[in-house]
Chains A and B, each alone.
Chain A
């Protein structure tokens, strides 16, 4: 039974890890396309128009793969975790149901927007048909995250009666829309998705700029880079603010997760902030950097404030302490990327102010998109941003262990114990391993068969 549960978890985790990246790109890309099309129409700029059209091809192909990988996730939810879905179906299914309509809105308007470029005499009308694509994609993320918030803070039914009898009673189907975790989790997930996905496009355009040989290619890719960096900068602000607030909220709504993230073994006042360290045994930390009182101050505003500790809870419900290191990594990389983005924007600002100096070998006069060092750093930063997105989800999910619905149902109770999951797991992993590189190859072929100059001059 245990090994099957591990396979269930692996398959779900794998499918989600892949889908999160594709879905995040599906959230950010319509916004980038719409901004590019708007600039193209507003300033009659053929480069931005071409950018919008070419990115639309990327979107359609990603959407096709993403829609299907989303369907696999939906199938996984139902078939790997039938007991979990049975409770969700009776209590908290409405966001998932509403998500279907958001998904419909998106997919129908994909059919309108991406196949009707030349059917509107007024370009702004075509632009308008793209807005439901962007809104639908973001709404889908909102609704799906509401289900995850329910998993973290279940509401909308009589939990004590369910725990004692297994019967679902006292159902309020709308409570899931305002679970305690949702108010911060939803904006945090949305902003981090935008952040990571727009950074992927920062990397893409940086890579293209490094290889660009003609002024036309450079101008075209600079346009994409500017929009992507702008979106990254806006979203990172929201991601940081909602992330900080989420941690404070976590101490109240999921104290075990908070304690594991902070590495707090005992509840205490004057709690230090523990940074890094090494696991000592299964349930303790050692060799960490400790800043006295900081954690109490950050959480409660006072050095004598009390922070939750794991020892207040049964060891069997402790999340794995590895999330402490994952969180520290996430925080450090997030701050680093924030500073990096701020520095990039500062260079652009100084360039606009016509400052003619070099900083760390980077010529401000030329700007960030001309510096090969910065372009290479962009690619590294994007890799870190994607890792950040994945680690963030892992912290959220591992931090809830052993529960699938916090304090209601464990992962083992929810799992499908059918051995038939084993071969299909291997098949799905192999399949994804082939289809994603193949999709990238197809995209390369699509663009190599479409000379940029022809599209710009069209």
Chain B
């Protein structure tokens, strides 16, 4: 039985990763010069980039609520990677905001800086995730890390490649980018094959539940989503986003309850029931408020889309809209 505190924290992580994956997709696709689709990508990213940024803090603080006694270990081990990621996050935020209001070549250059910095942030964040799974380069007993070993190892690099491929799968379906969508099922299967091989090689214990009923259901779902990506079914985008969220959750299920290559049982560090109980009403009230606000945001920006405030000659969609 999974601890509810772990589950809530992991669901927040999965929601964050899903939103962020879409943004990474936008960043990657914009670097790939998919000019015809830039306006469509921009219309996604413009209203919600700051929500993604806020999600990072949400996950971080929920982690502090959920695992207070793990903070010393996590803080000491990941200080350099995390602070470097935070620094590049400022770059990402700033240049996206700059590109909102500056058009022309400078605006495009700012957008590229945003895209590259988003991918670097993703790489660093994924390095933390990968190393917490594999434990490569980390010694939990001495609470130390060999940063180069933790980042530049086959597990981490291949994990990044597979996540990048999955991100391309999701975003090409979500934004209906035909040029990439036609290959997306192959990209997805390749990515999942890589994930399977590296898990088997480096953290085989995670595969012990790989043939359980929930995972079998997930495989069926994956096959359906891959198949849908080859069709023109209009809801494939939404389904692939939902699939990504479920995939991240399933990864957490396989990993539970260990981190650092099975050396640390995370449930040993979960907060007291008093604090978990006290945090729950805030999660419910705050979460409901966030969901309602997000629904309104989506309604205003997508359902009720009209002319934009500073519309002509400004903003991502207009920078992008040159060819549209």
Contacts and interface: CB of A to CB of B under 8 A. Distances in A.
Interface of A: 53, 56-57, 60-61, 63-65, 67-72, 74-76, 78-83, 85-90, 93-94, 96-101, 103-105, 107-112, 114-119, 129, 132, 171, 173-174, 416, 418, 420-421, 423-424, 427-428, 431, 435, 438-439, 442, 445-446, 449
Contacts of B153: none
Contacts of B83: 72, 75-76, 79, 424, 428
Nearest to B55: A104
A119 B87 contact: no
Contact of A90 (B80, B86, B102, B275): B275
Given A71-B89, A93-B65, A118-B309, A100 B58 contact: yes
Given A64-B96, A173-B275, A79 B75 contact: yes
A175 to B, nearest CB: 10
Nearest to A11: B83
B306 to A, nearest CB: 5
Nearest to A425: B83
B64 A78 contact: yes
Given A53-B310, A104-B58, A424-B80, A64 B93 contact: yes
B75 A78 contact: yes
Contacts of A101: 282, 285-287, 289-290
B203 interface: no
Contacts of B267: none
Interface centre among B51, B101, B282, B285 (most CB of A within 10 A): B101
Interface stretch (B180-188, B250-258, B297-305): B297-305
A63 B54 CA distance: 11
Contacts of A97: 61-62, 65, 279, 282-283, 286
Closest 5 CB pairs of A and B: A89-B68, A101-B286, A82-B75, A117-B309, A64-B97
B34 interface: no
26 contacts: A56-B309, A60-B97, A61-B94, A61-B97, A65-B97, A71-B86, A78-B64, A83-B72, A93-B65, A96-B61, A97-B286, A100-B58, A101-B286, A108-B297, A112-B47, A112-B296, A115-B301, A116-B300, A117-B310, A118-B307, A118-B309, A132-B293, A416-B76, A442-B98, A442-B102, A449-B102
Contact of A79 (B54, B56, B78): B78
Given A78-B82, A96-B61, 11 more contacts: A64-B97, A67-B50, A68-B86, A71-B89, A72-B90, A89-B69, A93-B279, A173-B275, A416-B76, A427-B84, A445-B102
Interface centre among B47, B87, B285 (most CB of A within 10 A): B87
A301 to B, nearest CB: 40
A89 B65 contact: yes
A105 B78 contact: no
B308 interface: yes
A78 B75 CA distance: 6
Label chain B's interface by main secondary structure.
Answer: helix
Contacts of B301: 111-112, 115-116
Interface centre among B48, B53, B83, B293 (most CB of A within 10 A): B83
Contacts of B311: 118
Contact of A68 (B64, B65, B93, B290): B93
Chain B's interface size range is: 35 or more
B278 A94 contact: yes
Contact of B272 (A71, A90, A442, A445): A90
Contact of A89 (B82, B86, B271): B271
A67 B64 contact: no
B309 A114 contact: yes
Interface centre among B58, B91, B98 (most CB of A within 10 A): B98
Contacts of B69: 86, 89-90
B197 interface: no
Nearest to A62: B97
A142 to B, nearest CB: 14
A307 B8 CA distance: 50
A70 B109 CA distance: 25
A25 to B, nearest CB: 14
B144 to A, nearest CB: 8
B64 A85 contact: yes
A78 B60 contact: yes
Given A72-B90, A108-B290, A424 B84 contact: yes
A379 to B, nearest CB: 25
Nearest to B101: A446
Contacts of B272: 90, 171
B86 A64 contact: no
Nearest to B56: A71
A115 B318 CA distance: 14
B90 A69 contact: yes
A431 B93 CA distance: 14
Nearest to B54: A107
A57 B58 CA distance: 25
B74 interface: yes
Given A79-B79, A428-B83, A105 B50 contact: no
A89 B60 CA distance: 12
Nearest to A8: B79
